Amino acid sequence: MDTLINKLINVLTPQLVLYIVIALVVIIVLTIVLRGMRKRSLKGGLVELETKYNEVKGIPLAFKFNKAVALSRVNEAMLARVNECQPNFDSVQEALKECGVLLAEADDLLYVHKNKAAYKKMEQLQKNLEESRKKAEEVNQVLDEILEQESEQRSQINILKERFRSIKKMFGDNRNAYHQSVEYIEKRIDAIEKKFSLFEEWMFASEFDKAHEQQEEIAKDIQELGNQLHALPNLYEQARGVLPKAIDEIGLRYAQTRNKGVYLEHLDVQKNLDIISDQLKENIAKLRGGIVVDVKENLNALGERLLNLQDLIAREDDAYAEIHGGIDELFQKVRHVNEEFESIVQLYQRVNERFGFEDWSARLKEEEKQLEQMNVLRRKVEKAAIENVLAASAQLMDYRELAKAVELFGKDVEKMKAQLASACSDEERAKKQLVKLQLILNEVRLKTACHRLPSISSQYQSDLAEGEKLINRVKLVLEHSPLDVQELNADLQEAIDFVYKLYNNANNLVGIAIMVENAIVFGNRYRSSYSEIDSELTRAELSFQNGEYTKALKIAIQCIEKMHPGIYEKLIKTNDPSIMNQVG
């Protein structure tokens, strides 16, 4: 041994010893560092495992299981499921206890630097936690299914609470709009809040069926309160503003209409308005107690009643205005129709005798009967308008009936009058035409006499006699009774045709004679200078004296055209003999 040591001493130099010492120090340091790093790694893993342990332990299995057990006491349907879930729940609880123990042991081992042992505990803890999490989630799901009724009720009650808060806010923001109903609404709100508290008590006691009944009551109360809060402002506005204003307006309209003289007693307006006012007060009192459905129906009925009353007043006013606005004119039409009918009766008697007119005896009796009925109705309308003890709407029926009767009877009268006038028109026309024809004959005689024609044919005199004869024949027909209208028209037309033809011929004859005289007078200025013109004018004068006026005009015109060409065309075109005096 000593020999070995001596050899080592001989071999180990101071420098080699230094290297060995440094290597040992490095190994020690690395060992310490690695152990520290491993310990820190294990501690970090242990923290993660502790977090997972707390997550699994944080699942409220015990709370849910206790609620499920409480529910199973009052709900036999849930008892079997709770009993089935019991073993798994207990298993999870035991596994969590074991995990807690392992977690504590691993922590202790790390504290005493037994890293390897701690690592083994941590591996076991990881495995147990995974199994525990899986079982806990399964148990949690089963418990959630068992407690679904509670969750559903809790969800529904939260919705109701939100609606209730919204309703309370609406009430607070519009408090003045609810007038006398404020106290009632506050009581209802307090009652609903108490029901919410009672619901929580039933839920805490796991009396879910009773809690459900309480929830239904709360939902119903909130719905009713919401409806009331929405309806009350409008109902108050109608009851305190719209309808009272309508009552005042109708009262004013009633007074104004009555002052016009319109009969309104049958409407009992004031009595109806008093009844409506009393009913309005009763409905306002009901609103104080939160009654909205009945009040709404009642207010609508009162509104309709007021509208009907207003319409009735307006109808009477309009009827009164229609009657008194046209009654004078209508009565005047009645008088006119009576006068026209009387004149028709007189005219018919004359026409019937004169022309042998169709028999209107039955027709006139029927018309006279209708006229009497119209006059009776007229007296009735007049009496009702003067006495004014009957509703204008009732009077209006008779008034319109009278107006219709006057219109129809007036048309009948006009029709009869036109028929009678047509029968007389031929006679009147014939008389007027006779006067005109006689004047025309006199004008023909006067023209021929005034112009002193040197020669007139015998036919002219016979034509005048024929014209007189035709006129006298028409006069004889007119004097005969009954009058033969057909013969009258035929003879009259023959006389007209003849006399007008004679008139035209006489006019033409006189016109030609005047033109001959003017042409000869015009040509006389050239006689002394031109022998040919003197000779032609002499021929024209002889023809004129012999009554050959057309020949005389032709000779005279041809004569003067030699001096003034185209004068004849101007004469024919203007048909004015004085045109020759303008040539010079």
DSSP 174: T
By C-alpha distance, which of 203, 199, 213, 200 is closest to 71?
203
Contact assessment for residue 455 and residue 545, using Cβ atoms and an 8 Å cutoff: yes
Q: Copy the structure tokens of residue 214.
A: 């309480």
108-112, 218-222, 391-395, 566-570, range with the lowest pLDDT: 566-570
The backbone torsions φ and ψ at residue 268, rounded to the nearest 5 degrees and listed phi first, read 50, 50
Q: Copy the structure tokens of residue 117.
A: 């042992």
Q: What pLDDT sits at residue 438?
A: 83
Contact assessment for residue 109 and residue 59, using Cβ atoms and an 8 Å cutoff: no
Q: What pLDDT sits at residue 28?
A: 66
79 band by pLDDT with thresholds 50, 70 and 90: low
135-139, 276-280, 362-366, 513-517, range with the lowest pLDDT: 135-139
Q: Which amino acid is at 320?
A: Y
Contact assessment for residue 548 and residue 456, using Cβ atoms and an 8 Å cutoff: no
By C-alpha distance, which of 495, 503, 517 is closest to 446?
503
More confident residue, 213 or 428: 213
By C-alpha distance, which of 202, 182, 433 is closest to 288?
182
Q: Copy the structure tokens of residue 427.
A: 């006679």
Q: Report the alpha-carbon distance of residue 455 to residue 426 in Å, rounded.
A: 40
Residue the block writes with tokens 């003197």:
534
More confident residue, 347 or 309: 309
- Per-residue pLDDT tens digits for 542-565: 776 676 767 777 777 777 777 767
Contact assessment for residue 280 and residue 243, using Cβ atoms and an 8 Å cutoff: yes
Secondary structure of residue 206 in the 3-state scheme: coil
Q: What pLDDT sits at residue 248?
A: 92
Percentage helix, strand, coil, to 5, in the chain?
90, 0, 10
Q: What pLDDT sits at residue 287?
A: 87
Contact assessment for residue 348 and residue 360, using Cβ atoms and an 8 Å cutoff: yes
Q: Report the alpha-carbon distance of residue 483 to residue 318 in Å, rounded.
A: 56
Q: Which span out of 105-119, 162-176, 191-205, 486-500 was modeled with the highest average pLDDT?
A: 162-176
Query: CA of 50: how far to CAs of 141, 354, 356, 500, 522, in Å?
Result: 23, 142, 139, 146, 159
- Per-residue pLDDT tens digits for 236-263: 899 888 999 999 999 999 899 889 888 8
Determine how many CB atoms are found less than 10 A away from the CB of residue 458.
7
* Per-residue b or e along 4-31, where b marks 16 or more CB atoms closer than 10 Å to that residue's CB: eeeeeeeeeeeeeeeeeeeeeeeeeeee
Q: Report the alpha-carbon distance of residue 392 to residue 323 in Å, rounded.
A: 8
- Per-residue pLDDT tens digits for 2-28: 565 565 555 556 666 566 667 666 666
Give one word for 512, left, alpha or beta, with left for phi > 0 and alpha for psi -120 to 50: alpha
Residue the block writes with tokens 């009643």:
305
On average, the pLDDT of the chain sits at: 76
- DSSP labels for 83-142? HHHHHHHHHHHHHHHHHHHHHHHHHHHHHTT-HHHHHHHHHHHHHHHHHHHHHHHHHHHH
Contact assessment for residue 471 and residue 437, using Cβ atoms and an 8 Å cutoff: yes
Q: What pLDDT sits at residue 32?
A: 56
More confident residue, 445 or 218: 218
Span 505-529, average pLDDT: 73
Q: What pLDDT sits at residue 49?
A: 67
Query: CA of 141: how far to CAs of 36, 88, 136, 145, in Å?
Result: 43, 12, 8, 6
Query: 477-485 long-range CB contacts below 8 Å, 24 or more apart?
Result: 477/430, 478/427, 478/430, 478/431, 478/434, 481/353, 481/354, 482/353, 482/354, 482/355, 482/356, 483/354, 483/355, 483/427, 485/355, 485/423, 485/426, 485/427
- Per-residue pLDDT tens digits for 127-137: 776 777 777 66
Q: Report the alpha-carbon distance of residue 332 to residue 581 in Å, rounded.
A: 67
More confident residue, 504 or 152: 504
Q: Copy the structure tokens of residue 133.
A: 């999490």
- Per-residue pLDDT tens digits for 348-364: 776 665 555 566 777 77
Q: What pLDDT sits at residue 584?
A: 46
Reply yes or no on whether the pLDDT at 471 is more than 60: yes
308 band by pLDDT with thresholds 50, 70 and 90: very high
